[in-house]
Amino acid sequence: MPIVANSGLPSFERFRREGGDVLTRDRAESQDIRELHIGLMNNMPDAALEATERQFLRLIGGCNRIAQFYVYPFSPASVARGPEARAHIDAFYHDFDQLKTEGLDALIVTGANPVCEELSDEAFWQPMCETLDWARENVTSTLCACLATHGAFQHFHGVRRQPLPEKRWGVYPHRVVMEHPLVRGINTRFDVPHSRWNDISASTMRSQSQQVLVESEEAGVHLAASEDGIRFVYFQGHPEYDSFTLLKEYKREVNRYLAAEIEDYPPFPANYFMADMKDRLDAFRAKAQEARSGGIDCPPFPEAEIVVDNTWGDTGKIIFNNWLGAIYQLTNRDRRQPFMPGVDPNDPLASIF
């Protein structure tokens, strides 16, 4: 299913070079094919802004139904940005007020890097709540990623996320615990990366009449859906992560240790590195600890030498395919007409749910 390069966003070209199916706007408009219009509220910090675009583009572009995808990234103006990220947003991102006027079929709300103890004190909080409120009334389905899930539960249900005793960080086995169109055709057991300090439990989600679809004994809930099955989709895990995302997070923590920003050398992300890779990283750890204690330069982190297995990517693509396939069936709009929401909140979501 092709993505339409509806702007000069560099992530479109990078996805094309990776082998993704990308159409120019002119070519897309010359074809009589259904369109799906997807908003991407990108709340991630500057360092992860473009990587997050690419990760979600890959999941969207990996779907196989016959449609053209138009993706519209936007970011709250209230979130402080450095000059490079601000220039990127100004050049390639869309105005949310204009998107509200034109409408969206689907919306993805990313996580964020919280800096305050209370979510309601974050710079992204108010625009995120306003976006979620608008989406509930005007968008067929909204997918909330990680912290956005916690924000949605607090905003809509008054449920606050609970701090974990330590960071939940790594790749964990999960099991499908409820039959649902979103998990149709996937393995009943599969892996998912997590990277978070807070949690909303399965029992808490169910107490709010939300449907828990996938969970882990070690990592908790990965995937859940709203009571109607589609209006909101919630991830606590990260199916969008690239193979090396956790490696880059680990490298960042090692560099923080070397800069004396943290006292303890970071542990390995759980279930992520293979045994021989752990040996290489343990060898580097010895050098890093010696360098810090002796006040000497440390050799570069051996990122290029590390190989990891991706045990979650295919399942993430299938779930996204199921999600966008459901939206495709629930929307019925001529591509030449203004965007229109496709689901009545009181409708039992047609025959697919």
Active site residues per annotation: 146, 238, 240
Q: Which residue has the tokens 């007020």?
A: 97
Measure the CA–CA gap between 26 and 23, rounded to whole angstroms: 8
Record the tokens describing residue 164, joined without a space: 């974990």
Provide CB contacts within 8 A for 49, sequence distance 6+: 42, 75, 85, 88, 89
Measure the CA–CA gap between 279 and 100, rounded to whole angstroms: 52
Q: Looking at this protein, which amino acid is placed at residue 169? A: W
CA–CA distances in Å: residue 72 to residues 1, 8, 53, 185, 343:
17, 12, 10, 28, 21
Provide CB contacts within 8 A for 207, sequence distance 6+: none
Measure the CA–CA gap between 298 and 284, rounded to whole angstroms: 9
The alpha carbons of the chain give a radius of gyration, in whole angstroms, of 21
269 conformational bin, left if phi > 0, alpha if psi -120 to 50, beta if neither: beta
